[in-house]
Amino acid sequence: MAGEYAILYAVSDAAGNVASVYREIIVRAAADTTAPVITLTGSASVTLNIGDSFTDSGATASDNIDGNLTSSITSSGTVDTSVVGN
């Protein structure tokens, strides 16, 4: 979260003359340049025989800033276990 803050410094002398000055402090979010990491659940390579059933064991994702991104993972591709793949 970005925000601006101010600190007021003040002083007065014995005659009652007052001086004051502000310091501005800006707080900003650092740029996030680190990509999230996807971790496959199970092996990265799966070998099946024709006719076997295939159930995708999925993956998890995490990010240095956003934390758990598993629910945001999208996947694409299909497996047809009735045909030898290439």
Residues lying near Ca ion in the complex (CB under 5 A) = 32, 34, 63-65
Beta strands per DSSP E along the chain: 3-12, 18-27, 37-40, 59-63, 67-68
When the beta carbons of 41 and 64 are compared against Ca ion, the nearer one is 64
When the beta carbons of 47 and 74 are compared against Ca ion, the nearer one is 74
When the beta carbons of 38 and 48 are compared against Ca ion, the nearer one is 38
| CA–CA gap between residue 54 and residue 82 (Å, rounded) | 11
Task: Give the pair of three-digit tokens for residue 6.
Answer: 């101010």
* Rounded least distance, CB 33 to Ca ion, Å: 7
